[in-house]
Amino acid sequence: MMEEEVDMAVNHPPNEAHIDDEMMKMEVNLDDISSEIIGYVMDVLLKAGANDVYYTPIYMKKNRPAVLLQLLCSASKLETMKTILFRETTTLGIRYYPLTVHRMARSFRRVSTKWGDVTVKEGIMDGGVVKSSPEYEECKQIAERHQIPLQQVYEEVRTQLNRSE
Amino acid sequence: MMEEEVDMAVNHPPNEAHIDDEMMKMEVNLDDISSEIIGYVMDVLLKAGANDVYYTPIYMKKNRPAVLLQLLCSASKLETMKTILFRETTTLGIRYYPLTVHRMARSFRRVSTKWGDVTVKEGIMDGGVVKSSPEYEECKQIAERHQIPLQQVYEEVRTQLNRSE
Amino acid sequence: MMEEEVDMAVNHPPNEAHIDDEMMKMEVNLDDISSEIIGYVMDVLLKAGANDVYYTPIYMKKNRPAVLLQLLCSASKLETMKTILFRETTTLGIRYYPLTVHRMARSFRRVSTKWGDVTVKEGIMDGGVVKSSPEYEECKQIAERHQIPLQQVYEEVRTQLNRSE
Amino acid sequence: MMEEEVDMAVNHPPNEAHIDDEMMKMEVNLDDISSEIIGYVMDVLLKAGANDVYYTPIYMKKNRPAVLLQLLCSASKLETMKTILFRETTTLGIRYYPLTVHRMARSFRRVSTKWGDVTVKEGIMDGGVVKSSPEYEECKQIAERHQIPLQQVYEEVRTQLNRSE
Amino acid sequence: MMEEEVDMAVNHPPNEAHIDDEMMKMEVNLDDISSEIIGYVMDVLLKAGANDVYYTPIYMKKNRPAVLLQLLCSASKLETMKTILFRETTTLGIRYYPLTVHRMARSFRRVSTKWGDVTVKEGIMDGGVVKSSPEYEECKQIAERHQIPLQQVYEEVRTQLNRSE
Amino acid sequence: MMEEEVDMAVNHPPNEAHIDDEMMKMEVNLDDISSEIIGYVMDVLLKAGANDVYYTPIYMKKNRPAVLLQLLCSASKLETMKTILFRETTTLGIRYYPLTVHRMARSFRRVSTKWGDVTVKEGIMDGGVVKSSPEYEECKQIAERHQIPLQQVYEEVRTQLNRSE
């Protein structure tokens, strides 16, 4: 799931469905860098505005179990991402190509639980809510504060969500 | 191996080699859905006409071991695939880009074995057969019916194939 | 690298090399839980005293791309880990078996850099230092505070380390 | 999740929690066999009574991306599994070691939905239900028969489950 | 496939099937070392007598895509392997546990092809040959010398093998 | 790291940074071929001029743990690569699409160590050296000739490099 919307305000008017053809996929193969640094770079890229960053295990020549770093960003962020990748990783070459992203319409609502309110992100198709996803960070905080399993928090949010429909 | 031809009739005139530049690659990152549902979606997509669907293990932020769903389809199937992905998965965004596929010429023949006939798909280059692949489902049925190892069925088909050349 | 020593005091007398045969490996296959929760469980287990927790992508029946959770802990922690795994994941069965861990002797030292001191963990064999590893969290803080690449911090620590030998 | 109980009758008295130390883990590295056959072997092993079978991508010498087949079975099934592995795969050596499995107490109940009843498997700890898992095959059949997303079926089962508590 | 027999002479009397319970599995998690060095270590371990060495992609804490190194060796080689792992990798801890290996009886034969003879390793069960595997290095040399696809060499060896039976 | 420059002469004038938009990514899914052959194909492709070749573990239909072969090459090499892929693998279809590569300026220098000189490749940004990478094959030869850990060779090269700056 792309999470470009994590910092969007709740009660925001629904985001319209739209097709974004100004996106770039960037790729770097990493075989001469420690995993500690690879783990660090992910956060740097996300903070600088990447829509998504993910790692895939790959196998390169000379029996090297390596890592493919991929990221998605708007074309306007291309140079920013390049600078980070060249500074923070060992790569000497960065690949990229444009792609299109179709984003579903989405809205946010607040659901009340016995432990407080939780934001739920909803996906909308043909005017109806077809999926709803409780906000991870809020559920996590509740789980930690109340010493209950995270699954139980999600379960409770979904129960209240169904009751309110 | 792409298997868009699985339901093509045997004795079909050879498929010509051709370059298809009307293909799309679609991609979705899945990190908030159970594997049970991911396994199910593959079949739904294949039945709806995807040429190929495959999963890659990826690593996303917050220590999430997630799944990259990729599929290949003709550009004309794009909307059909989007609808399934939005309905059956948790994703709110689908990425895609065009690509070209070069397909080798292929033909099908029947090979006789002691357990019955088996279809073999052949790849043709410069007028000659350069590879041949016994049809999996038929070999599997023979293995199950006769309680013999699947490898032995493949082996026998290949032996008969060599004898007939 | 096992990191059971992360909270050990610097200037601690060297940890002796030893063979620990009171360790357990625990394993759980996860195919009906979202990656969000899997990512969360890792931290819970580490905080509760697991020596190491790691995930491996596996492929289960019915085309399910799933996750194998493995953890290492001392035998005395077995029940604690079971309780967390049963509470926080969907599993109904936990596998485990004993194993032996041979730990190299190690010591900690402080290295001065232009940005402040950094702890370095050293591995000792036959009385000599055979490897040294700058402490990740300290290097990361320097990189963030001074807006420099993390690699440059590691490099500087290693340079100072060589100079002081 | 281990699924040795898939064919257990509904309304079965709750399975007691227990520790089973008569289990075996078996392992085979596969680097000279096609994926078609690897996919087939999984079903053969499960039908013959393996508790679980799963594949892990591994990297072997000479740049070979290979597969580690692992299976869990009771010690009494060891010879049966060996025979299948030697017959159906290319391996000349099979590794195995004993392990312990702690199984949570579990019970089964039936939940009514607008599309018919669905079995739900429950995990019980300290006398209380701590997790519940709708039976996949039944949900899948409903999804296919009624042409609705599989997620919606799970959602409905969980809603009815919460209502009945 | 375990390849402890790679340097066994052709025309060797068949190796008897046997159960070896003097084997060890060793494991190391690697998250602070470059892939270049990981690829190198595999050869060092194999040359020193490991029966098998393989890498699995794993996910460790702090978003680190890391590598699990596993090796199989006879218990008598344990100290040799430890020394290499401590010298050549960054690990400060090595895990290990005993396991049993059941090895199929095997024999070697020579098969004549138009490009020269090739060794074929055979697996024997209940007195009969149940699998046969052309020796990779010999087939590779033929493919390179004669500029033909490697698959064609294997195919030819299998054809001649079937003819000679 | 892309290694198209492995055979470039040392003391070569620095390679200018440049953006190459004449590159192609090629992809093949492999599910009916042994890992032995997949490992072999990598070398054939690299020798024929591929800039990079790497394998990703994927999961295909019918529970097949398969391999995605990806390669990067200049558009002018497209037909050469196709011929190899059709000859050496079982695929009947090859996918490809253009992408852009931004290559950092790079230069090579020689560093003296107690075991002889080693080539170091440097990446240059805004006129300054931002990364340096000792040549793997040379370090490996030193490690083998002098029976020292490969890590120690890298460490020594880096120490000398820092001293000379």
Q: Mean pLDDT, chain A, as a whole number? A: 91
pLDDT in tens, C136-156: 999 999 999 999 999 999 999
Residues of chain C in contact with residue B33, where contact means CB-CB under 8 angstroms, are 34
* DSSP state for residue A76 in the 8-state scheme: G
Residues of chain A in contact with residue E65, where contact means CB-CB under 8 angstroms, are 35, 38-39, 55, 57, 67
Instruction: Write the CB contacts of E126 (distance below 8 Å, at least 6 apart in sequence).
Output: none
- Count of E–F CB contacts within 8 Å? 31
Return the pLDDT at F162.
Answer: 81
Cβ atoms of residues D109 and D119 within 8 Å: yes
- Let me know if B78 is exposed, middle or buried by CB neighbors in 10 A (0-12, 13-18, 19+): middle
Q: Tell me the backbone φ, ψ of residue F106, rounded to 5 degrees.
A: -145, 150
Q: Name the residue among B26, B55, B29 with its Cα closest to residue B40.
A: B55
Cβ atoms of residues E93 and C104 within 8 Å: yes
Give the C-alpha separation, D42 to D46, whole Å. Answer: 6
Return the pLDDT at B126.
Answer: 87
> Does D17 touch chain F if contact means CB atoms closer than 8 Å?
no
Question: Which residue of chain F is at minimal alpha-carbon distance from B137?
Answer: F62
Query: Please, which pLDDT band fits residue D165 given cuts at 50, 70 and 90?
Result: low
Give the C-alpha separation, A10 to A109, whole Å. Answer: 7
Q: Name the residue among A125, A31, F37, C152 with its Cα closest to residue B86.
A: A125
B116: left (phi over 0), alpha (psi -120 to 50) or beta: left
Residue B45 reports pLDDT greater than 60? yes
Return the pLDDT at B14.
Answer: 55
pLDDT in tens, B10-35: 444 458 899 999 999 999 999 999 99
Q: How many CB atoms lie within 10 A of CB A8?
A: 13
* DSSP state for residue F76 in the 8-state scheme: G
Q: How many CB atoms lie within 10 A of CB F53?
A: 22
Strand partners, D98: D24
Query: Please, which pLDDT band fits residue E9 given cuts at 50, 70 and 90?
Result: very low
Residue A128 reports pLDDT greater than 80? yes
pLDDT in tens, E98-133: 999 999 999 999 999 999 999 999 999 988 998 999
CA atoms in the 13 A half-sphere facing the CB of D59: 26
End-to-end CA distance of chain D: 24
Query: Please, which pLDDT band fits residue B115 given cuts at 50, 70 and 90?
Result: very high
Return the pLDDT at C14.
Answer: 55
Q: Which amino acid belongs to residue A14?
A: P
Q: What SS3 class is residue F94?
A: strand
Q: Which residues of D14-50 are buried (b: 16+ CB within 10 A; e: fewer)?
A: ebebeebeebbbbbbbbbbbbbbbbbbbbebbbeeeb
* DSSP state for residue D76 in the 8-state scheme: G
Provide the strand spans (E) within E2-144: 18-30, 52-60, 64-74, 93-103, 105-113, 116-125, 128-134
pLDDT in tens, A42-70: 999 999 999 999 999 999 999 999 999 99
Cβ atoms of residues A1 and B33 within 8 Å: no
Q: Picking from B23-37, D29-43, D151-165, which range would have the lowest pLDDT averaged per residue?
A: D151-165
Residue whose tokens read 């625990």? C26
Instruction: Determine, for residues A149 and C87 on separate chains, whether the beta-carbon distance falls below 8 Å.
Output: yes
Return the pLDDT at D10.
Answer: 43
- Let me know if C89 is exposed, middle or buried by CB neighbors in 10 A (0-12, 13-18, 19+): buried
- Let me know if C114 is exposed, middle or buried by CB neighbors in 10 A (0-12, 13-18, 19+): exposed
Q: Mean pLDDT, chain C, as a whole number? A: 91
CA atoms in the 13 A half-sphere facing the CB of B64: 23
Give the C-alpha separation, A72 to B68, whole Å. Answer: 13
Angle at D48 between CA D45 and CA D50, to 5 degrees: 60
* Tokens at F162, concatenated: 């820092």
Q: Which amino acid belongs to residue A88?
A: E
Q: Name the residue among F72, F116, F69 with its Cα closest to residue F89.
A: F69
Among E59, E61, E93, select the one facing C102 at the smallest CB separation.
E93
Q: Name the residue among F52, F45, F57, F48 with its Cα closest to residue F23.
A: F52
Q: Which amino acid belongs to residue B79?
A: E
Residue D112 reports pLDDT greater than 70? yes
Q: State the average pLDDT over residues F65-72.
A: 98
Return the pLDDT at F163.
Answer: 79
Q: State the average pLDDT over residues F39-59.
A: 98
> Does D93 touch chain A if contact means CB atoms closer than 8 Å?
no
Q: What SS3 class is residue B154?
A: helix
Give the C-alpha separation, B62 to E61, whole Å. Answer: 9
Give the C-alpha separation, A21 to A32, whole Å. Answer: 34
Instruction: Determine, for residues B159 and E162 on separate chains, whether the beta-carbon distance falls below 8 Å.
Output: yes
Give the C-alpha separation, B114 to C4, whole Å. Answer: 62
Residues of chain C in contact with residue B64, where contact means CB-CB under 8 angstroms, are 35-36, 38-39
C28 versus F163: which is more confidently predicted? Answer: C28
Return the pLDDT at D5.
Answer: 44
Q: How many CB atoms lie within 10 A of CB F44?
A: 18
Residue whose tokens read 């056959």? D37
Give the C-alpha separation, F54 to D63, whole Å. Answer: 10
Output the pTM of the full model. Answer: 0.93
Cβ atoms of residues E79 and E99 within 8 Å: no
> Does D68 touch chain F if contact means CB atoms closer than 8 Å?
no
Residue F72 reports pLDDT greater than 60? yes
Pick among E64, E71, E85, E95 to test the C interface (most C CBs inside 10 A): E95
- Let me know if D101 is exposed, middle or buried by CB neighbors in 10 A (0-12, 13-18, 19+): buried
Query: Please, which pLDDT band fits residue E6 given cuts at 50, 70 and 90?
Result: very low
Q: State the average pLDDT over residues E66-95.
A: 97
Return the pLDDT at E25.
Answer: 98
Chains that touch B (3 or more CB pairs under 8 A): A, C, D, E, F
End-to-end CA distance of chain C: 24
Give the C-alpha separation, B86 to B93, whole Å. Answer: 8
Cβ atoms of residues D57 and F30 within 8 Å: no
DSSP conformation letters of C124-145: EETTEEEEEEE-HHHHHHHHHH
Q: Picking from A90-99, B13-22, B43-52, B71-80, which range would have the lowest pLDDT averaged per residue?
A: B13-22
User: How far does Cα C89 stand from its chain's mean position?
Assistant: 21
Give the C-alpha separation, F4 to E147, whole Å. Answer: 24
Residue whose tokens read 């390179």? E144
pLDDT in tens, C100-132: 999 999 999 999 999 999 999 999 998 899 899
Residue D45 reports pLDDT greater than 80? yes
**Which ranges of chain F would DSSP assign to H, the alpha helix?**
35-47, 78-88, 136-146, 150-163
Q: Which amino acid belongs to residue F128?
A: G
DSSP conformation letters of D19-64: EEEEEEEEEEEE-SS-HHHHHHHHHHHHHTT-SEEEEEEEEETTTE
Residue whose tokens read 């996590």? A140
User: What ipTM does this complex have?
Assistant: 0.90
Residues of chain F in contact with residue D33, where contact means CB-CB under 8 angstroms, are 34
**Which ranges of chain D would DSSP assign to H, the alpha helix?**
35-47, 78-88, 136-146, 150-163
Instruction: Write the CB contacts of D8 (distance below 8 Å, at least 6 apart in sequence).
Output: D15, D108
pLDDT in tens, F9-44: 344 445 889 999 999 999 999 999 999 999 999 999
Rounded to whole angstroms, the maximal C-alpha distance in chain B is 58
Residues of chain E in contact with residue F33, where contact means CB-CB under 8 angstroms, are 151
End-to-end CA distance of chain E: 24
Kindly report the nearest CA distance between residue A100 and chain E, in angstroms.
27
Q: State the average pLDDT over residues F55-83.
A: 98
